[in-house]
Homo-oligomer: A and B are copies of this chain.
């Protein structure tokens, strides 16, 4: 491969923030940073990760990436790319930095106002103030809107009282809580003058300088987990803990100073609906989801590199001796089963990496460009859905692929030093945190259903069912990651039923779009017919259509991936690089059609003969 082809490939894959990638590649390449090749006891691992976090925050070059300079959005693309690259280094470190900078820092930056930025952001970025993001509760889990912790404003003292009313309201699994965090961004139902205004975030000091818990705060340690040994997850509960009113992160909802005359205070907010306000808050936290997906993708590429390298070097069995007594060894990668096990996931990894690059650029442009993240609600919603889509797609792929890589290396893959154990155990929880995948897929499906109804209320299940029931769904997919190249390809595509539709990139794009449109339309129709009965229990309607919601979300995800892949591959200027990327893109398409062959066959989208031909092409 020529030098220019290599350069072009790298350019295509590295995307806009290639420089950040190179810096991380050079600066964090030593074993001092990498996941250790022997399991460490959890206390040692925690020590190590805390040390790495602090060192990282003091390196001059990380500033550009993590900058949350008061008042400026910072270089968000660089920051997200740096997070992704930490996935190549060590996932405990990624999560530790993610909690500190992305979640805790992100809450202060995104939910707080000027005074919070001035007071905290620099200390957070310097690692002088270590914090937690305390949202999840024992009883609540994914249902964050209904969490139980209360934050009650006491106008007499101008304080907020944070309280854990029951054992199920204990904050659980909180990163940075067991050992390091001195402050927590606590999500709680805000009550002012006896009225609840839904979930808000309050800063609560949880640990004194000497490491002991603050009065009224109880801290537990989650102890050993399946992976992420460097992250100190813990429990937090609050017994009437008082903090100043100023500790409310009040960008979306404020408590006005007590009126000295009347002795009362008031709650104000620019957003009237409690649930809509809460979803606006969650919207500012979208970057966490982007990085979780990105770093899972990076970890997966590490595993694939290891397994493919092994497969190109190891022989297993000999070519049957052809009579000359010289049967030679067969390289693992010569086995078609082995190629399937590794190269199909590799093709999808390419698609995911390119789509993630596109998403990062989108987030950067929207958040840096507009200044106000919530300028255009619909656009923000779309971005969140894409972030959710790629979070699910990346993390699901990661768990399955790292496992496949371990198996493809046989006994060697089972040895700890060969890294699959740590990779897989660490990445495992990525399907669960920052939004459980099954829950997120439903969020994506709801978004698809309500694509033309930009009201936040539609997050509500009943309203969404009602909407689906009233409207005959008219789909027109929005091309998220496809630019002018994808437009041109689709315009020039042969008809969907043309024999060669599957071989033409435009035809492939049309077929993937069609699958999404059809699946979403059917979902809407099912909801309509299920809910036509007045007495229908919405929970039952929802449960009945759930598998179809998941199917619609997956169809959407596959379409996003193909768009991003096609845009980059077909846009390559170097011919050799283009040919190579296009071949991988074809493999992605054929293996995706094969994996969903039942759907394409059931719906008469491909014939039996075409389906068999697709499998043959994958081989």
- Taking a contact as CB atoms under 8 Å apart, the answer to whether A421 and B425 are in contact is yes
Q: For A406, list chain B residues within 8 Å (CB).
A: 226, 428
Interface size on A, residues (CB 8 A): 80
Residue of A142, A414, A601 ringed by the most chain B CB atoms within 10 A:
A414
Binds B, one of A103-111, A496-504, A544-552, A557-565: A544-552
Q: Known A337-B550, A432-B414; judge A460-B538 contact (CB<8 A).
A: no
Closest to A436 in B: B410
- A311-350, CB under 8 A of B: which get 1 and which 0? 0001111111010000000100011111011000000000
A408's nearest neighbour on chain B, judged by CB, is B438
Is A309 an interface residue, CB under 8 A from the partner?
Answer: no
Q: Is the CB of A432 within 8 A of B407?
A: yes
A244–B407 alpha-carbon span in the complex (Å): 40
Decide yes or no whether A575 CB sits under 8 A from chain B: no
CB-CB < 8 A to A173: which residues of B? 411, 414
A257 at the binding interface (Cβ < 8 Å): no
Copies of this chain held together in the complex: 2
Per-position binary interface string of chain A over residues 57-93, scored 1 when its CB falls under 8 Å from any chain B CB and 0 otherwise: 0000000000000000000000000000000000000
B411 touching A428 by the CB < 8 A rule?
no
Minimum CB–CB distance from A592 to chain B (whole Å) comes to 13
Residues of B within 8 A of A421 (CB): 225-227, 425
Residues of chain B contacted by A334 (CB below 8 angstroms): 539, 543
Of chain B, the residue at the smallest CB distance from A37 is B224
Least CB distance, A58 to chain B, in whole angstroms: 31
In the complex, are the beta carbons of A320 and B601 less than 8 A apart?
no
Contacts of A478 in B (CB 8 A): none
Bound-state CA distance A425–B226 (Å) is: 9
CA distance A615 to B431 in the complex (A): 25
Q: How far is the CA of A539 from the CA of B424 in the complex (A)?
A: 33
Q: Provide the bound-state CA to CA distance between A418 and B34, in Å.
A: 28
The answer, yes or no, to whether A38 is at the interface (CB within 8 Å) is yes
Q: How far is the CA of A305 from the CA of B431 in the complex (A)?
A: 22
Enumerate chain B residues within 8 angstroms of A50, measured Cβ to Cβ: none
Q: Compute how far the CA of A550 lies from the CA of B539 in the bound complex, rounded to whole angstroms.
A: 41
What's the least CB distance linking A438 to chain B, in Å? Answer: 6
Contact with A141, one of B316, B424, B432, B612 (Cβ below 8 angstroms): B316
Contact partner of A320 (CB less than 8 A), chosen from B223, B227, B314, B462, is B462
Instruction: Say which residue of B318, B429, B432 sits within 8 Å of A143 (CB atoms).
Output: B318
Across the interface, A425 reaches (CB within 8 A) one of B415, B425, B608, namely B425
State which residues 517-538 of A face B: CB under 8 Å.
Answer: 537-538
A475 at the interface (CB under 8 A from B): no
Q: Which residues of B contact A136 (CB under 8 A)?
A: 411
Indicate if A458 sits at the interface (CB-CB under 8 A).
no
CA distance A330 to B143 in the complex (A): 11
Residues of B within 8 Å of A611, CB to CB, are 598, 601-602
**Across the interface, which residues of B come within 8 angstroms of A619, CB to CB?**
544, 547
Does A390 reach chain B (CB closer than 8 Å)?
no
Q: Is the CB of B141 within 8 A of A337?
A: no
A432 & B403 in contact (Cβ 8 Å cutoff): no
With A414-B432, A461-B320 as known contacts, state yes or no: A336 contacts B544, CB within 8 Å.
Answer: yes
Known contacts A436-B410, A462-B320, A539-B330; decide if A225 and B415 are in contact (CB<8 Å): yes
Residues from chain B with a CB closer than 8 A to the CB of A612 are: 602
For the complex, is A263 an interface residue (Cβ under 8 Å from B)? no
Chain B contacts of A462 at CB under 8 A?
320
When the two chains form their complex, are residues B414 and A543 in contact, meaning their CB atoms are under 8 A apart?
Answer: no
Contacts of A225 in B (CB 8 A): 414-416, 421
- A452 on interface, CB distance cutoff 8 Å: no
- Identify which of residues 213-228 in chain A touch chain B, using a CB-to-CB cut-off of 8 Å: 222-227
Minimum CB–CB distance for A537 against chain B, Å: 7
Cβ-based interface call for A590 (8 A): no
A41 interface residue per 8 A CB criterion: yes
The residues of B that contact A537 with a CB separation of less than 8 Å are 319
| Nearest CB in chain B to that of A315: its residue | B139
Is A597 on the interface with B (CB-CB < 8 A)? yes
State the CA gap A568–B438 with chains docked (Å). Answer: 35
A146 at interface (Cβ–Cβ under 8 A)? Answer: yes
Quick one: which of B41, B142, B417, B602 contacts A410, CB cutoff 8 A? Answer: B142
Q: Mark A583-619, 1 if CB is under 8 A from B, else 0.
A: 0000000000010011001111000100110010001
**Closest Cβ of chain B: how far from A67's Cβ, in Å?**
31
- Closest Cβ of chain B to A64, distance in Å, is 33
Give residues in A with beta carbon < 8 Å to B.
38-39, 41-42, 136, 139, 141-143, 146, 172-173, 222-227, 314-320, 322, 330, 334-338, 340-341, 399, 403, 406-407, 410-411, 413-417, 420-421, 424-425, 428-429, 431-433, 436-438, 460-462, 537-539, 543-544, 546-547, 550, 594, 597-598, 601-604, 608, 611-612, 615, 619
User: Apart from A320-B462, A335-B546, what are 11 other A-B pairs with CB-CB below 8 Å?
Assistant: A39-B42, A39-B224, A141-B316, A226-B416, A226-B420, A320-B539, A322-B538, A334-B543, A341-B438, A411-B432, A598-B611
Q: What would be 18 A-B contacts, judged by CB atoms less than 8 Å apart?
A: A141-B410, A146-B317, A225-B414, A226-B424, A320-B538, A336-B543, A337-B546, A340-B547, A341-B438, A399-B403, A403-B403, A403-B428, A406-B428, A407-B431, A414-B432, A425-B425, A547-B615, A547-B619
7 interchain residue pairs of minimum CB distance:
A597-B598, A226-B421, A224-B416, A601-B601, A602-B608, A320-B462, A319-B539
